[in-house]
Amino acid sequence: MPSAVVQYRAVEITAHRRTREARLAAALASCRQSEETLRTQLRSQSADLDHQEAENTEQRTAIEGLRAEVIRFQTVQRTDAQDLIHLAGRLLALSHASGVGLDNATKDLFRRRGWTASARKTEVKQQ
């Protein structure tokens, strides 16, 4: 009888071993599947990141172009304003020299801007 017990025990151990091996194989397959899923997600995220970096580069280029255009517009605006101030001064000087009065709207504009005859004389002396 002891051999029957030994044989039973050997069969039981073999069954446990097979069960453990099956569990380990299932766990390994699950880990491999999880790993492949994570690798797929990583590749997808990497492709998304590459796409976003390309868009970011395009947007930075567009921003640089817009900044250059703003600077150009500011320069043109500054030059135009200086030209207008110069013309206004000439108009005021011509008006005073010829004795022809300016219309009220122009006088009001000059006063609001501080472009009076005395202010113009001070400006001319400073130049």
- Separation of alpha carbons 62 and 68, rounded Å: 10
**pLDDT digit string, tens, across residues 84-94:** 888 888 888 88
pLDDT of 127 higher than 60 = no
Angle (deg, nearest 10), helices 104-113 and 2-98: 130
pLDDT, one tens digit per residue, over 100-123 is 888 888 888 888 888 776 655 555
**Opening angle at CA 63, ends 60 and 65, nearest 5:** 110
Distances (CA, A) of 75 to 30, 61, 108, 121: 66, 21, 27, 27
- How much is the pTM? 0.53
With residue 60 as reference, give the H or E element that holds it: helix 2-98
Token match 């921003």: residue? 63
pLDDT of residue 126: 58
- Greatest Cα-to-Cα distance within the chain, rounded to the nearest angstrom: 142
Closest CA to 61 of 72, 49, 69: 69
